[in-house]
Amino acid sequence: MASRILHAQLRHRRTTSSKLRPLHHLRTYRFFSSERFSGPSLQKPDVPDDSSNGSKLASPLASQDVPDDSSSSSSSSTLRLLELAKPQKKLLAGAFATLSLTSSVTLSFPFLVGKIIDSAIDNPTMVDPTYAAAGLFGMISAAGAGVVARQIFLTKAGENIVAELRSDLFRSVLRQDNSLFDQTRTGDIITRLTSDISLIQTALTTEILNATRAVLMSVGGVSFLLVTSPTLTLVSCLSLPPIFVSAKYFGKKIKALQTTVQSDLAKTTVKAEEVISQIKTVRSFNAESFEAEAYKSRTQTVRDRAIEAGVKGAYLDGTVHVAANAGLLCILAVGGNMLGVGGGTAVITPGELASFLMYSVFVAGNVSALSTVYGSLQKSTGAAERIFELIDQQPTIMTAAKGNGQPHDPLKNNDIVLKNVSFNYPTRQKYEVLSNLSLELPQGSHTAIVGSSGSGKSTISQILLRLYDVNSGSITIGGRSIRELPPETLRDLISVVQQEPVLFSSSIADNIRYGNLEASEEEVYEAAKSANVTDFAETFPDKLDTLVGEKGVQLSGGQKQRVAIARVLLRNSPIVIFDEATSALDAESEFLVTKAIEQIVEGRTVISIAHRLSTIRKAQQVAVIENGAVVEVGNVKDLINLEGGKFNELIQRQR
């Protein structure tokens, strides 16, 4: 049962937690082309020009910089947020209908109170205060029911909008180039998926409601003020200029500070994620106190910026409070004279003055609320800019290839040819990893690629999978450039077993099933048996349903390798790459893993990136890499016997 539940999570990826896990293992995620199970792309990507070679560096996310404060940037983000609200128009229409109803009831309240006061003064015997209060209570109750309905409508609409935005953002993350992840820490991306989204959620579900209500109440209140007394209305307007000026001035500062707070919070998340994931290393060096102080320093930076933003918000609220109440005092002074106090001629009734004061309080309170909402919306606008920055980030290679998604003719064979390939990682432009490298790997052959550390061996697996594009030269499979193949098609052809296999924090069975998410229980079991996984899994109480822990911490290195091999067996790709798959294992684990590998080799094109003679011995061809180029190619026996050869030298070092 646990296996089926986790299988469903892997297939549908609907929860936030299941969506965040692949960020830690994105290369493994792409090895198995699992982006397709995260839903359709947010935007249809452009088709790359096959003639433009070169590994391009994705634009870095501005996580450490405050975005431009221009109004055009803010308005653009706001408009895009409103675009997300279109599918929720029915819920929003219901919310605005109930809002209009409750606002109308609330606005009529001061008018009726004024009429009751005047009637009580003019004809005391004709007005029963009890009945009047009961009638007003009925109006208030109706408005309360409208508030409940409005909140339900807006909550549903807001949650739907945020869920869609979160999904869009996550899909955008999955289609980005690896170069972006090379230069952007996981914590920063997760902050955008969590706290930045939460700010927008608050804006869409709470602040938009408050803003709309405040606008309706302010406009309606001012209308009643004009009807009641144009003179007093003019007096009340004296408080508006300082309110609008302070809102404009402090709003810009709050937005800039809040954007910085979000960036600093991302750095704090990055630090926590890094330390927790490497806790054993931290403890082995007694670095707990050092890391605690480093984290405290980051949290204090967030605190200081947040306090500064809060202080600016306090100045804004204080200014609005003083201006609004000063306006009320002016109304009281002028209104008292208009009542004829002091022997003058009365031009307004007590009930009208009472109504006017109540409307003034309504207007002042809602204008004050607008200033608070404005500050909050500035915060959410900064968060929206960070989110849309990532959504708008255009990948250079993670796109559909030529043919606009149309089916391609099947490959004639699985011959792999690398011709005059040169490559450097986008984040290290000055360091050429591969230099004019040429190599042929016939279909069904077993080729070992060897070389000293840093020679470029492992880079070959990454460019074969097109995690990066080469600077120059070509790579073909079956005579077709890999640039012409959709990434998911290319990665269906190739499976990789890494030196440190990546396992997700689910069961053994589900980690194996990751190779083929449609596989049955029987197929998973057969793959586990062929890779000798059942040898150790059967000793666990939950067998294949045993949870492996985060990154597979509950399993040994050899056990994790066998799970990874079972995953590749289930995937059944025609090309398999072993990237130093046994280099970190002891002799017994290496023997068991080697037995599992033998199940894969037959009938497939196999590439073993290795340095141990035991791993290389059965290869039909050995390619020696030095300084990013192939310097020797031949069978094991010939290269070992080649005096002064590079392969001979590497083998001698192991003896």
> pLDDT tens-digit profile of 131-141?
777 877 888 88
Angle between helix axes 129-174 and 89-122 (nearest 10 degrees) is 160
Mean pLDDT over 535-561 rounds to 87
Give 39's pLDDT tier (boundaries 50, 70, 90). very low
- Please report, for the domain that includes residue 362, its CATH number: 1.20.1560.10
pLDDT classification of 359: cutoffs 50, 70, 90: confident
| pLDDT reading at 629 higher than 80 | yes
| Same domain assignment for residues 335 and 376 | yes
Q: Examine the pLDDT at 14 and tell me if it is beyond 50.
A: no
Residue 483 is assigned to a structural domain of this protein: yes
Residue 37 placed within a domain: yes
Assess if residue 55 is contained within a domain. Answer: no
Choose one of 359, 391, 423: the last residue of a domain: 391
Average pLDDT over residues 155-165: 83
- Using DSSP's 3-state secondary structure scheme, residue 56 falls into coil
Same domain, 375 and 444: no
Top pLDDT among 171 and 592 is at 171
328 and 244 assigned to the same domain: yes
pLDDT at site 419:
92
Do 384 and 479 share a domain, yes or no?
no
Query: If you search the block for the tokens 């001979």, which residue do you land on?
Result: 648
pLDDT per residue as tens digits for the range 590-609? 676 677 777 777 778 888 88
Q: What phi and psi, each to the nearest 5 degrees, are found at residue 444?
A: 80, 0
Q: Is the pLDDT of residue 570 over 80?
A: yes
CB 469, CB 483: distance < 8 Å: yes
Token pair recorded at residue 136: 């007003």
Taking the CB of residue 515, how many other CB atoms lie within 10 A of it? 23
pLDDT tens for residues 253-297?
877 887 788 778 777 877 787 777 677 667 766 778 888 888 888
What local confidence, expressed as pLDDT, does residue 18 receive? 42
pLDDT of residue 569: 87
Q: Which residues contact 566 (CB under 8 A, 6 or more apart)?
A: 512, 515, 527, 528, 530, 531, 533, 596
Asked, for residue 57, whether it belongs to a domain, the answer is no
Half-sphere exposure (Cβ direction) of 90: Cα atoms closer than 13 Å: 2
Of 363, 391, 419, the one marking the end of a domain is 391
Q: Count H helices, E strands: the chain?
A: 25, 10
CA separation for the pair 25, 3 (Å, rounded) = 21
Burial of 75 (0-12, 13-18, 19+ CB in 10 A): exposed
Could you give the angle at the alpha carbon of 624 between the alpha carbons of 563 and 636, nearest 5°? 80
Is 51 inside any structural domain? Answer: no
Q: Give the residue from 338, 356, 391 where a domain finishes.
A: 391
What is the chain's Cα-based Rg? 34
Q: What ranges in 71-128 are assigned the alpha helix state H?
A: 71-84, 89-122
Q: Indicate the average pLDDT of the chain.
A: 76
CA dihedral sign of residues 291, 295, 298, 304: negative
Judgement on whether residues 245 and 379 belong to the same structural domain of the protein: yes
Where does the pLDDT of residue 126 fall: very low under 50, low under 70, confident under 90, or very high at 90 and above? low
Q: Are residues 555 and 448 in the same domain?
A: yes
For residue 552, the model assigns a pLDDT of 82
Residue with tokens 């339900």: 152
130 lies in a domain? yes
Using CA atoms, how far residue 285 sits from 59, 289, 290, in Å, is 36, 11, 10
pLDDT band at 655 (very low <50, low <70, confident <90, very high): low
Q: Which structural domain, as residue segments, surrounds residue 101?
A: 72-391
Distances (CA, A) of 520 to 4, 526, 547: 10, 10, 19
Confidence of residue 5 (pLDDT cuts 50, 70, 90): very low
Rounded-to-integer distance, Cα 498 and Cα 218, Å: 64
Same domain, 503 and 470: yes
Q: Tell me which of 395 and 636 has the higher pLDDT.
A: 636
Residues in the chain: 655
Q: Is residue 640 over pLDDT 70?
A: yes
| pLDDT at res. 509 | 92
Task: Find which of 2-11, 304-313, 368-377 is predicted with most confidence, using mean pLDDT.
Answer: 304-313
Number of compact structural domains in the chain: 2
In a domain, 400, yes or no: no
Note whether 419 and 354 are same-domain residues. Answer: no
Q: Determine whether 193 is exposed, middle or buried from the number of CB atoms within 10 Å of its CB (0-12, 13-18, 19+).
A: buried
Question: Same domain for 361 and 414?
Answer: no
Q: Is 294 part of any domain?
A: yes
Give the CATH number of the domain where residue 23 resides: 3.40.50.300
| pLDDT tens-digit readout, 192-210 | 887 788 777 777 767 777 7
Residues 387 and 279 in one domain: yes
Question: Average pLDDT, stretch 345-367?
Answer: 77
The answer to whether residue 620 scores a pLDDT higher than 80 is yes
Query: Can you give the pLDDT at residue 59?
Result: 54
Residue 201 and residue 302 in one domain:
yes
* 575, 617: one domain: yes
pLDDT for 420: 92
